[in-house]
Amino acid sequence: MKLCFLVEEQYRHDGMPLDVIRQLSAWGHQVDVVWPGRSLIRISEAIRAGSHDAWILKTVSGGPGLTLLEAAATVGLTTVNDARAIRGVRDKALAAVIGRRSGLPVPDTYAAVRPEEFAELPQAAYPLVVKPADGSSGRAVRLVASPDRLLDPGFAEAGPAVGGLLIAQPYVPNSGTDLKVYSVAGDLYATERRSPLHPAHTVRERLVPLTPEIARITAEIGEVYGLDLYGADILLGPDGPVVVDVNDFPSFRQVPDAVARVGEAVLRLARTGDGQALAGYPAVVPAATATVPPARPAAAVGGAL
């Protein structure tokens, strides 16, 4: 197959997706790499119908790669993930609205450009978790105990660019351990890691058993947002699981044979054309009517497809 990977500058030395690119090449597939952040792109020539079997992007918030992926989708090329779906999770404010409307266990969400605006919320809403709406990798996530802490020195410096949106959600009491669940085209893996809100808490990152409830919620996330390769941060709160973040094309840390599994998933999605569509936002599928596929056991990996 002929594939095109869009690699954002932030991931130029990252094993995901670079190791996947090497694996696909080793399997005999032709893989072209476009570096949107540091090269001239002759977009009219590069993006044309039939040029590649699929375009694949590991996004960075605000990076140029998503525009190129959407351009590929407009001429009918298959994209991984579906180009329509990515903005729906990259914008955390939009993701919260989509998730709540569709019945996912997403917390109440508030938005403001300046952190001090959250002081209008009643004391009972605190503590709050405040983060940039375009954030990633736990960047600038802050636990705010009370309204007066919104004016702490350094808060603005840690937030989004000037004019960028912040979101705030009520803190979900938890053990200090985040549950990160990954989907590799329907194959689900649950892992544990330390919460960015509890940096002093010691947690050994590891694969953990996937409960039926978490498997159902994770599969539902893929249906609601229209994603095939994704990760979800789920907290086990006192009232049950809460979805606090969704990421397209995550790191897949602790997933067994992650490089081969993701490579095989990319090939399956490229062959079926599941990602082919015009750019735009995904349709919101109400949870009550969504058809949610069951979690699948991990498939054998390692051979050329």
> What CATH number does the domain containing 156 carry?
3.30.1490.20
> Based on C-alpha coordinates, what's the Rg of the chain?
19
Phi, psi of 111, deg, nearest 5: -130, 145
Average pLDDT over residues 67-86: 91
The model's confidence at residue 289, banded by pLDDT at 50, 70 and 90, is very low
Q: What is the mean pLDDT of residues 128-156?
A: 84
- Is the pLDDT at 14 greater than 80, yes or no? yes
Give the model's confidence band at 51: pLDDT under 50 very low, under 70 low, under 90 confident, else very high.
confident
The predicted model scores a pTM of: 0.85
Report the pLDDT value the prediction gives residue 303, as an integer from 0 to 100.
Answer: 33
pLDDT at 282 over 70: no
Please report the pLDDT score of residue 134 as a whole number: 87
Q: Give the per-residue pLDDT at 299.
A: 39
Share of the chain above pLDDT 70, in %: 85
Evaluate if residue 301 carries a pLDDT over 50: no
CA distances from residue 109 to 36, 55, 165, 167, 186 in whole angstroms, order as listed: 33, 33, 12, 7, 28
- Residue 134 forms part of a structural domain: yes
Q: Give per-residue pLDDT as tens, 182-234.
A: 999 999 999 999 888 887 778 889 999 999 999 999 999 999 999 999 999 99
- Render pLDDT for 208-217 as a digit per residue (tens, 0 to 9): 999 999 999 9
Between the alpha carbon of residue 240 and those of residues 85, 98, 108, the distances in Å are 27, 20, 15
Q: Establish how many alpha carbons lie within 13 A of residue 160's alpha carbon, considering only the half-sphere containing its beta carbon.
A: 22
Number of CB atoms found within 10 A of residue 211's CB:
13
Helix, strand or coil for residue 236? strand
Judge whether 183 lies within some domain: no
pLDDT of residue 138: 64
**Per-residue model confidence (pLDDT) at position 197:** 86
Domain presence at residue 182:
no
- State the amino acid at position 68 in one-letter form: L
20 pLDDT above the threshold of 90: yes
Residue 81, preceding peptide bond in cis (omega within 30° of 0): yes
Is 42 contained in some domain? no
Q: Which residue has the tokens 């938890």?
A: 174
pLDDT range class, residue 105, cuts 50, 70, 90: very high
* Mean pLDDT calculated for residue range 5-17: 89
Contact 106, 96 (CB under 8 A): yes
Residue 128 and residue 118 in contact, taking contact as beta carbons nearer than 8 Å: yes
User: Is 125 inside any structural domain?
Assistant: yes
What pLDDT score was predicted for residue 258?
97
Which among 244, 288, 245, 246 is positioned nearest to 107, based on CA atoms?
A: 244
Q: Pick the residue with more confidence: 299 or 53? A: 53
Residue 142 falls within a domain, yes or no? Answer: yes
Q: Which residue has the higher pLDDT, 161 or 7?
A: 7
Size (the chain), residues: 305
**CA atoms in the 13 A half-sphere facing the CB of 38:** 7
Supply the mean pLDDT for the chain.
85
Q: Cis omega (within 30 of 0) on the bond before 127? A: yes
Share of the chain above pLDDT 90, in %: 61
The answer to the question of residue 246 being in a domain is: no
- Asked if residue 163 is part of any domain, the answer here is yes
Total domains present in the chain: 1
The Cα 78–Cα 156 span in angstroms is: 40
Query: Which pLDDT value is given to residue 42?
Result: 82
**Domain span holding position 141:** 108-170
1: Cα separation from own chain's centroid: 26
Edge-to-edge strand list for the sheet holding 142-144? 110-112, 166-170, 128-132, 142-144
pLDDT at 154: 64
